[in-house]
Amino acid sequence: MSVMITVRMSSDRVAKVDALVSSGAFPTRAEVVRAAVDRLLKAEEDAAIDRAIVEGYSRIPQTAEELAAADLDLIESLREEPW
């Protein structure tokens, strides 16, 4: 199900949206708005995941042994690269 919403924008902003449509970057004004909202929602979701990871590592930090093992794994994976 979709819901129609009404959004007020400045004339300058609408002109920029119309330019995107005129250039062929988007088929309609609505697609411009949907794409912008999708990008915002994705950015917010990514930021929430980042905050959860930081909180987790702050609550339970890696041990020195875990960090040393990660360093060794990194060195080994770099050695396996064909460059």
Ordered per-residue pLDDT tens for the chain, 83 residues = 999 999 999 999 999 999 999 999 999 999 999 999 999 999 999 999 999 999 999 999 999 999 999 999 999 999 999 98
Q: How far apart (Å, rounded) are the C-alpha atoms in residues 57 and 13?
A: 41
Structural domain range at position 73:
11-80
Q: Give the model's pLDDT for residue 46.
A: 98
Specify if 5 maps to a domain: no
Instruction: Residue 17: count other Cβ atoms within 10 Å of its Cβ.
Output: 19
76: in domain: yes
Q: Report the pLDDT value the prediction gives residue 83, as an integer from 0 to 100.
A: 85
**Could you give the number of structural domains in the chain?**
1
Quick check: is 1 in a domain?
Answer: no
